[in-house]
Structure 1
Amino acid sequence: MNASDEEWNLLKKVQQMDFVVVELTLYTDTHPNDEEAMNQWREAIKEAKKVRKQYESRFGPLSLLSVPSKQAIEVGWHWNSTPWPWQR
Protein backbone atom coordinates (compact mmCIF):
# COMPACT_ATOMS: atom_id res chain seq x y z
CA MET A 1 0.00 0.00 0.00
CA ASN A 2 1.45 3.35 -0.98
CA ALA A 3 1.05 6.64 0.90
CA SER A 4 -1.83 7.77 -1.32
CA ASP A 5 -3.77 4.55 -0.64
CA GLU A 6 -3.08 4.89 3.06
CA GLU A 7 -4.34 8.47 3.05
CA TRP A 8 -7.54 7.57 1.20
CA ASN A 9 -8.21 4.60 3.48
CA LEU A 10 -7.73 6.72 6.58
CA LEU A 11 -9.89 9.52 5.15
CA LYS A 12 -12.59 6.94 4.40
CA LYS A 13 -12.39 5.75 8.03
CA VAL A 14 -12.80 9.36 9.23
CA GLN A 15 -15.91 9.70 7.08
CA GLN A 16 -17.32 6.41 8.31
CA MET A 17 -16.83 7.35 11.94
CA ASP A 18 -18.36 10.79 11.38
CA PHE A 19 -21.39 9.05 9.84
CA VAL A 20 -21.73 6.73 12.85
CA VAL A 21 -21.56 9.70 15.24
CA VAL A 22 -24.23 11.62 13.32
CA GLU A 23 -26.56 8.62 13.13
CA LEU A 24 -26.18 7.78 16.81
CA THR A 25 -26.70 11.45 17.68
CA LEU A 26 -29.98 11.48 15.76
CA TYR A 27 -31.08 8.22 17.37
CA THR A 28 -30.23 9.32 20.91
CA ASP A 29 -32.05 12.61 20.32
CA THR A 30 -35.26 10.62 19.90
CA HIS A 31 -34.40 7.83 22.36
CA PRO A 32 -32.71 9.60 25.27
CA ASN A 33 -33.34 6.73 27.69
CA ASP A 34 -31.60 4.10 25.58
CA GLU A 35 -28.49 3.61 27.69
CA GLU A 36 -26.90 1.14 25.26
CA ALA A 37 -27.21 3.66 22.43
CA MET A 38 -25.74 6.37 24.65
CA ASN A 39 -22.76 4.13 25.40
CA GLN A 40 -22.32 3.41 21.69
CA TRP A 41 -22.47 7.15 20.99
CA ARG A 42 -19.78 7.86 23.62
CA GLU A 43 -17.50 5.18 22.17
CA ALA A 44 -18.13 6.43 18.61
CA ILE A 45 -17.13 9.96 19.64
CA LYS A 46 -13.87 8.65 21.10
CA GLU A 47 -13.10 6.52 18.04
CA ALA A 48 -13.93 9.35 15.63
CA LYS A 49 -11.58 11.66 17.50
CA LYS A 50 -8.83 9.04 17.48
CA VAL A 51 -9.14 8.39 13.73
CA ARG A 52 -9.29 12.10 12.90
CA LYS A 53 -6.18 12.70 15.01
CA GLN A 54 -4.37 9.87 13.19
CA TYR A 55 -5.25 11.37 9.83
CA GLU A 56 -4.37 14.93 10.77
CA SER A 57 -1.06 14.05 12.39
CA ARG A 58 -0.02 12.34 9.18
CA PHE A 59 -1.68 14.36 6.40
CA GLY A 60 -2.69 17.72 7.87
CA PRO A 61 -5.86 19.34 9.23
CA LEU A 62 -9.28 18.49 7.85
CA SER A 63 -11.11 21.56 9.10
CA LEU A 64 -10.64 24.86 10.86
CA LEU A 65 -11.60 23.08 14.07
CA SER A 66 -8.25 21.32 13.86
CA VAL A 67 -6.26 24.53 13.90
CA PRO A 68 -3.94 25.15 15.55
CA SER A 69 -2.60 21.69 15.05
CA LYS A 70 0.95 20.76 16.00
CA GLN A 71 1.85 20.85 12.30
CA ALA A 72 0.35 24.31 11.84
CA ILE A 73 2.25 25.68 14.81
CA GLU A 74 5.60 24.11 13.96
CA VAL A 75 5.80 24.45 10.19
CA GLY A 76 2.87 26.62 9.24
CA TRP A 77 -0.24 25.66 7.38
CA HIS A 78 -1.61 27.53 4.40
CA TRP A 79 -5.26 26.80 3.67
CA ASN A 80 -4.93 28.27 0.21
CA SER A 81 -2.20 25.77 -0.73
CA THR A 82 -3.11 22.72 -2.74
CA PRO A 83 -3.60 19.89 -2.73
CA TRP A 84 -6.49 19.85 -0.28
CA PRO A 85 -7.10 16.48 1.40
CA TRP A 86 -9.79 15.48 -1.13
CA GLN A 87 -7.55 16.48 -4.07
CA ARG A 88 -4.68 14.12 -3.22
Structure 2
Amino acid sequence: MTKRETLLKKISTYQFAALDLQIYLDTHPNDRAALEKAEKYKAMARPLIAQYEEEYGPLTKRVTDANKWTWIKGPWPWESEDDC
Protein backbone atom coordinates (compact mmCIF):
# COMPACT_ATOMS: atom_id res chain seq x y z
CA MET A 1 0.00 0.00 0.00
CA THR A 2 1.30 3.48 -0.85
CA LYS A 3 1.70 6.26 1.70
CA ARG A 4 -1.33 7.99 0.18
CA GLU A 5 -3.50 4.89 0.48
CA THR A 6 -2.36 4.28 4.06
CA LEU A 7 -3.18 7.85 5.04
CA LEU A 8 -6.58 7.70 3.36
CA LYS A 9 -7.36 4.40 5.09
CA LYS A 10 -6.54 5.88 8.51
CA ILE A 11 -8.73 8.90 7.78
CA SER A 12 -11.66 6.77 6.65
CA THR A 13 -11.27 4.49 9.69
CA TYR A 14 -11.47 7.40 12.14
CA GLN A 15 -14.31 9.04 10.24
CA PHE A 16 -16.26 5.78 10.13
CA ALA A 17 -15.82 5.27 13.88
CA ALA A 18 -16.97 8.84 14.59
CA LEU A 19 -19.99 8.49 12.28
CA ASP A 20 -20.94 5.14 13.78
CA LEU A 21 -20.84 6.66 17.25
CA GLN A 22 -22.92 9.63 16.06
CA ILE A 23 -25.59 7.21 14.84
CA TYR A 24 -25.47 5.42 18.21
CA LEU A 25 -25.79 8.78 19.95
CA ASP A 26 -29.00 9.47 18.02
CA THR A 27 -30.67 6.80 20.17
CA HIS A 28 -28.48 7.18 23.27
CA PRO A 29 -27.97 10.94 23.61
CA ASN A 30 -26.94 10.77 27.27
CA ASP A 31 -24.05 8.33 26.78
CA ARG A 32 -21.15 10.57 27.79
CA ALA A 33 -18.49 7.94 27.05
CA ALA A 34 -19.73 7.49 23.47
CA LEU A 35 -19.79 11.26 22.94
CA GLU A 36 -16.21 11.57 24.19
CA LYS A 37 -15.10 8.70 21.93
CA ALA A 38 -16.76 10.31 18.91
CA GLU A 39 -14.98 13.58 19.62
CA LYS A 40 -11.70 11.71 20.10
CA TYR A 41 -11.99 10.03 16.69
CA LYS A 42 -12.87 13.34 15.01
CA ALA A 43 -9.85 14.95 16.65
CA MET A 44 -7.63 12.09 15.50
CA ALA A 45 -8.84 12.49 11.93
CA ARG A 46 -8.33 16.29 11.70
CA PRO A 47 -4.51 16.36 11.49
CA LEU A 48 -4.51 13.42 9.08
CA ILE A 49 -7.00 15.22 6.83
CA ALA A 50 -4.86 18.35 6.94
CA GLN A 51 -1.78 16.32 6.05
CA TYR A 52 -3.56 14.53 3.21
CA GLU A 53 -4.93 17.76 1.76
CA GLU A 54 -1.53 19.42 1.97
CA GLU A 55 0.18 16.56 0.16
CA TYR A 56 -2.50 15.32 -2.26
CA GLY A 57 -5.28 17.90 -2.53
CA PRO A 58 -8.74 18.42 -1.04
CA LEU A 59 -10.95 15.59 0.14
CA THR A 60 -14.13 17.66 0.06
CA LYS A 61 -15.30 20.68 -1.86
CA ARG A 62 -15.42 23.95 -0.01
CA VAL A 63 -17.37 27.10 -0.64
CA THR A 64 -15.19 30.12 0.02
CA ASP A 65 -17.99 32.70 0.10
CA ALA A 66 -21.50 31.30 0.37
CA ASN A 67 -23.07 34.70 -0.35
CA LYS A 68 -21.67 35.04 -3.86
CA TRP A 69 -22.79 33.29 -7.00
CA THR A 70 -20.14 34.02 -9.59
CA TRP A 71 -22.04 32.33 -12.41
CA ILE A 72 -24.89 34.83 -12.08
CA LYS A 73 -22.67 37.79 -12.97
CA GLY A 74 -23.37 37.36 -16.68
CA PRO A 75 -23.36 37.74 -19.46
CA TRP A 76 -25.63 34.81 -20.01
CA PRO A 77 -24.85 32.67 -23.07
CA TRP A 78 -27.72 34.23 -25.06
CA GLU A 79 -26.54 37.74 -24.16
CA SER A 80 -23.22 37.37 -25.94
CA GLU A 81 -22.42 40.02 -28.54
CA ASP A 82 -21.22 37.26 -30.86
CA ASP A 83 -24.84 36.20 -31.34
CA CYS A 84 -25.99 39.63 -32.61
TM-score range (shorter-chain normalised) is 0.5 to 0.7
Distance (whole Å) between structure 1 residues aligned to residue 15 and residue 35 of structure 2: 16
Q: Quote the Cα distance in structure 2 between the aligned partners of 1:60 and 1:42.
A: 25
CA distance in 2, matches of 1:50, 1:25: 20
| Residue of structure 1 aligned with 2:48, choices 47, 51, 66 | 51
User: 13, 37, 56: which one pairs with 1:16?
Assistant: 13
Aligned sequence identity (%): 34
Counterpart position of 1:64: 61
Structure 2: gaps spanning 5 or more residues: 65-84
Distance, in Å, in 1 between the alignment partners of 2:51 and 2:19 is: 20
* Structure 1: gaps (5+ residues): 69-88
Which segments of structure 1 move beyond 2 Å, counting only runs of 4 or more? none
Q: Count residues in correspondence.
A: 64
Rounded Cα–Cα distance in structure 2 between residues aligned with 1:33 and 1:55: 34
TM-score norm. by structure 2 comes to 0.67
1:7 CA displacement: 0.5
The CA RMSD measured in Å over matched residues stands at 1.7
